[in-house]
Each structure stands twice: as structure tokens, then as C-alpha cells.
Amino acid sequence: MRSDSLATILIAEDNDGHSRLLQRGLKDAGAQNPVIRFRDGVEAWDFISGKSEPCLDPAKRYLLFLDIRMPNMDGIEVLRRLKADRRFRHIPVIMLTTSDDPEELRRCRELGCDKFSIKPIAVEEFAQIFGLPLGPGSEISPAAAAENKDSAPA
């Protein structure tokens, strides 16, 4: 399967260890999807909303793993903005948390998250739910994504 036909996996996770575990889980599940990681909610929102370069390409498919507790802008605010904007509300969002606080989970559901998981996450389960093709992949930084976008065939 061509990598440009796979959904790009967006990971908004401030904790390096949790990000590595999630990416290892994707690799172990056989993911070939491109992965872009953001270290806080502002980085994630700027990519999604087009305030950064590179930014979200409306012609591509995405899946967002979104940590609830992050600096600068938390995951709940990113989720609220994403689901309130008709351009982005179709993007599946899996909220990541280390807590099982029922109020926090209720708020995520109200805002439109597709799934939530208490870390660590079983990636294979979510891949099946969303019907996403997976296979071995590597992390792509936002800068590398810009280089790939510029060199990608039209």
C-alpha cells in the first residue's frame, strides 16, 4: 500500500516516554503510517488550523491521538476547537489520559471525542475501529513533513 494513501497519525503528547511507547505500539502493530508528533496543544492546534508550516493538508486523512493534560493548551481545548470547526470535525480523535476521572471523560465525550484510552493504549484496537491501514513506520517531525510535502509527486 502506498504511504501517501495511509492516514497520517498525529500525536499530541508532551511526555517523551509516553510518545515513544505509543509510537512503539504503532510499529509493533505494523503501522506504516506517517507520524507527526507535537509536544503541546499549541503546536497541535497551529498545525491543524494552518497557523504553522507545515500544516494540515485537507486532501489527506488524519487520526489524532491527543493527550488531555499538556502545557500551553490542554487536549480538551484542542478537542473543543477541532470539533467546533466544520473543516476539522471529521478527524477521528482518541483522547489519552493517565486518569479515569469520570468528569474529564464525560467532558471529552460531550465535545465529540471518538474514543479515549487510559495510557498505555492498545493501538491495534483503535486501528481496527477506524479501519485504518497500518504497517512499520517512523516519526516525521513537522520540518520533515514540510520537506516531504515539497518533494511529493502531484
How many domains is the chain built from?
1
Q: What is the CATH number of the domain that holds 101?
A: 3.40.50.2300
How crowded is residue 129: how many other Cβ atoms within 10 Å of its Cβ? 12
Q: Tens digits of per-residue pLDDT, 19-66? A: 998 888 887 777 788 999 999 999 999 999 999 999 999 999 999 999
Does some domain include residue 153?
no
Does some domain include residue 112?
yes
Does some domain include residue 125?
yes
Higher pLDDT, 27 or 103: 103
Q: Tens digits of per-residue pLDDT, 72-87? A: 999 999 999 999 999 9
Does some domain include residue 133?
yes
State how far the Cα of 120 lies from the Cα of 15, in Å rounded to an integer: 12
Q: Can you tell me which residue has the cell 483522547?
A: 95
Q: Note down the domain range covering 117.
A: 3-148
Does some domain include residue 154?
no
Does some domain include residue 49?
yes
Does some domain include residue 42?
yes
Specify the pTM. Answer: 0.78
State how far the Cα of 79 lies from the Cα of 16, in Å rounded to an integer: 21
State how far the Cα of 139 lies from the Cα of 141, in Å rounded to an integer: 6
